Structure 1
Amino acid sequence: MYIRIKSFLDVLLSIFIFILIIPILLLLSCAIFISMGSPIFFKQERIGKNNKPFIMYKFRTMREPKEGENRLLSDADRVTKVGAFLRKTSLDELPEIINVIKGEMSLVGPRPLLDLHLELFDDQQLRRHDVKPGMTGLAQVMGRQSLSFTQRTALDVKYVENLSLWLDIKIIVKTILVVLGADGIKTGQKFEEVDDVGLKDLIEKKQKEREK
């Protein structure tokens, strides 16, 4: 029952929030265009509810990869100064409000991941996709980037198993406190620091297969 109410509240609140933040979106768009040029938005396919893919929107925080750089693995080296500010303040996530309005995401839920993760998850871990991915979630207020991929996934599953309005409210309040304090945010984080599931190896394997 709550899931249906949650979807309605997501769209209603997101439309209201979107109207309020239009000036901020325009200001940040100008800053990105001046510092990095176009495109302003970063669009990438992510996995949503029931493993269904969708295109997620964020503000661009990185320059384009140079020759020989892997788009995913060179993340830490390509973040610009403006991008670092956007990440530290979590402002790069604001365009995801569009995904919430479209019904692809929720305000609260497990963060949307790349489809490569589907090859690494067991049945229990895949439960994180029983709900819509969120702009913020339990893992984001319980350690954020300081957590390994396995720890984040465990918290995502815990959220699904304990889904409630009260839990969502607590996560939203804690998210505001975390963002204001910039807790758990590490700009330019390396894969090796949190990858305990072999994601880097899988990415490199896929890259070599494409090059053949």
Structure 2
Amino acid sequence: MYARYIKHPQDVLLATTALIVLSPLLVSIALLVRIKLGPSILFRQARPGKDGKIFYLYKFRTMTNARDANGELLPDEQRLTRFGKTLRSLSLDELPSLMNIVKGDLAIVGPRPLLVDYLPFYNEVQRRRHEVRPGLTGLAQVNGRNRLSWNERFELDVTYVDHVSWRNDWHIIWLTVGKVLRRDGITSSTAATMEPFTGERVLEPSPTKSTRKKKAASFQ
């Protein structure tokens, strides 16, 4: 009942309210991005949504467009500015994604939408993350975020898919608030955000539903 009839209308209502209430902050950040990083205030990137349907995710830009002598973009670590790091650490770069929630591309809570390039690499279990709308936050984000291994992240994503409920969503939302305030898990140990997924990391063995249920006990 919740997943089918309540979750999406609730998300749209909350996202619309947030866009209105936070509009002064959104305008202020947009001006700072324009001043510090130049044109193109928003970062727009294709991501797979529910059932793998492609949509465009919106965020505030946090990187420059600096390129090497061959015209190729420099690595993320070199293009991520101090200002951009601050936006990320406070999750302020995510605010434009509220528009994706209103459009129906995103949910407030769900598996985070990853890159389209990763789609061919998922195994059968990992692909189950697309059975629900992706989220602005999710179970993986409140259990380590970018410091998780890919195995751990995918297992938590599938755990969420098997346990969508009003109680679990609000528990994750409140945990997310705490994580943001503590700036916890923004980076991995070896990259500015998260190492690319190449399909080499698989769930071995694939977690059974009972195993995932045990992992979900902390937020049921």
Confirm or deny a common fold (TM above 0.5): yes
Q: Is the 8 A contact 1:87 1:187 kept in 2?
A: no
Change (3 A) 1:187 1:154: closer
Question: Does 1:100 find its partner at 2:104?
Answer: no
Are 1:166 and 2:162 counterparts? no
Alignment correspondent of 2:119: 118
Per the alignment, residue 186 of structure 1 pairs with 187
Alignment of 1:110-149 (within 5 A): 110-149=111-150
CA distance in structure 1 between the aligned counterparts of 2:100 and 2:42, rounded to whole angstroms: 13
Equivalents in 2 of 1:94, 1:46: separation in Å?
17
Cα shift at 1:186: 2.2
Letter in 1 for 2:158: V
Q: 1:178 to 1:59 in 2, by over 3 A?
A: same
Gap runs ≥5 in structure 1: 201-212
Residues 40 and 191 of structure 1, relative CA distance in 2, 3 Å threshold: closer
Give the gaps of 5 or more residues in structure 2: 201-220
Deviation >4 Å, runs of 4+: 68-71, 191-195
Query: In the alignment, is residue 37 of structure 1 matched against residue 38 of structure 2?
Result: yes
Task: Classify 1:39/1:189 alpha carbon distance in 2 versus 1 (closer, same or farther; 3 Å).
Answer: farther
How many residues were matched structurally?
198
Please give the per-residue CA displacement for 1:30-54, whole angstroms capped at 9, x wherever unaligned: 1111111111000000000000000
Normalised by the length of structure 2, the TM-score is 0.84
Alpha-carbon distance in 1 for matches of 2:81, 2:188: 10
Amino acid in the other structure paired with 1:186: T
Does 2:83 correspond to 1:54? no
CA distance 1:60–1:192, change in 2 (3 Å): closer
Q: Percent identity?
A: 42
Aligned residue identity for 1:49: K
Taking structure 1 as reference, are residues 193 and 16 closer, same or farther at Cα in structure 2, changes over 3 Å only? Answer: closer
- How big is the shift at 1:189? 5.4
Give, as a single letter, the amino acid of the residue that structure 2 aligns with 1:170.
H
The equivalent of 2:6 in structure 1 is 5
The answer (yes or no) to whether the contact 1:59–1:93 under 8 Å persists in 2 is yes
Distance in 1 separating the partners of 2:7 and 2:94: 20
Q: Which amino acid aligns with 1:35?
A: K
1:198 corresponds to: 198
TM score, norm. by length of structure 1: 0.87
Compare the two structures and name the one with the higher helix fraction: 1
Alpha-carbon separation, structure 1, partners of 2:101 and 2:193: 31
